[in-house]
Amino acid sequence: MALRARYSKIEGMTELLLTQHRQVRPPVRVENIVRGLGLEVRAGDLKDVSGLLVRTGDTAVIGVNSTQSRVRQRFTIAHELGHFLLHEGIQHHVDHNYRVNFRSEVSSSATSVDEIEANFFAASLLMPRHFLDAVNAVDAMDDDARVAELARAFDVSRHAMSLRLVNVYQHHSPY
Amino acid sequence: MADPIYEKLGAAIRSRREALGMSQAKLADRVGMVRTSLTMIENGAQGVLVHQLLGLAAALRVGPAELIASAVIHSEKDTGATARAEAEHLLGELNTPVSRITR
């Protein structure tokens, strides 16, 4: 189990998935990628659970909470796909309202690293670096209206978009 | 110290300290603790009192809740059997196939 999140490896994986599934512009059709990999997605009222992953042999079922917002469900599906591809040892995984920004350096336990990796995977898949570069997203960092516009284009929450922009372009930040 | 929570908490403290490039001796000194106590805490072999936790969090420039969170999250999810039972129950709630979710 990884002790540090494998950021470069994950970004390589998401780039390959986007190419293989011919995703060339936002919004990324995460459901097509998941289906292309042979996984099944089902929705239901999961109460305080955002999503889950249940493996069966080589494939898996991803469960998503239908009571949460659509953009959140998209992120959850991508997050669970991340667990499926990155964390082979886990047969059954249940995510209770995980935090999208769960990537603190303090989160050192193996489980926390898994969550950081799954979140980074989801963000990289739904908001690929080169898609952001292509629309000069770096200029949106300090502009709420542009963040909202990008969030709509990428079909993600504004919160997820803000975090991704900081993550990708933080060396540009004046703070 | 039997409770595995202290192992997770200790690991979180160690990881943060190392991320900051701080030695055990320096951190121990900052919080007014002997280095061997900090070693014990990081190894999960010694419990942490509230004032020590607050001191360590301040010296490591993180919120105490963040240090605790990694321990709590881990203990909740540690048991494969629990996750399996919960997942199997939740599978029963998943009654709608999703074929399209992107706008």
CA A173 – CA A116 distance, rounded (Å):
22
B101 has a chain A CB within 8 A of its CB: yes
How many domains does chain A divide into?
1
Of the candidates A27, A66, A104, which has its C-beta nearest B102's C-beta?
A27
A149 touches A38 (CB < 8 A): no
Write out residues 129-148 of A within 8 Å (CB-CB) of B: none
Domains and CATH numbers, chain B: 4-95 (1.10.260.40)
Question: Would residue A66 count as lying in a domain?
Answer: yes
Task: Using a cut of 0.90, tell me whether the model's pTM lies above it.
Answer: no
Residues A52-71 have pLDDT tens digits of 999 988 899 999 999 999 99
Q: Which DSSP symbol is given to A28?
A: P
In-domain check, residue A1: no
Q: Which DSSP letter does residue A41 get? A: E
* Section B6-26 average pLDDT: 90
Q: B102 — contact with chain A (CB < 8 Å)?
A: yes
Find chain A residues with C-beta within 8 A of B87's C-beta.
52, 54, 92-94
> Closest chain A residue to B75 measured between Cα atoms?
A111
Q: Tell me the per-residue pLDDT of A92-151, one tens digit each, with 9 for 90 and over.
A: 888 877 665 544 444 444 557 888 899 999 999 999 999 999 999 999 988 999 999 999
With b meaning 16 or more CB within 10 Å and e meaning fewer, what string describes A121-150? bbbbbbbbbebbeebebeebbeeeebbeeb
Q: How many CA atoms lie within 13 A of B45 on its CB side?
A: 6
Q: What is the CATH number of the domain that holds A90?
A: 1.10.10.2910
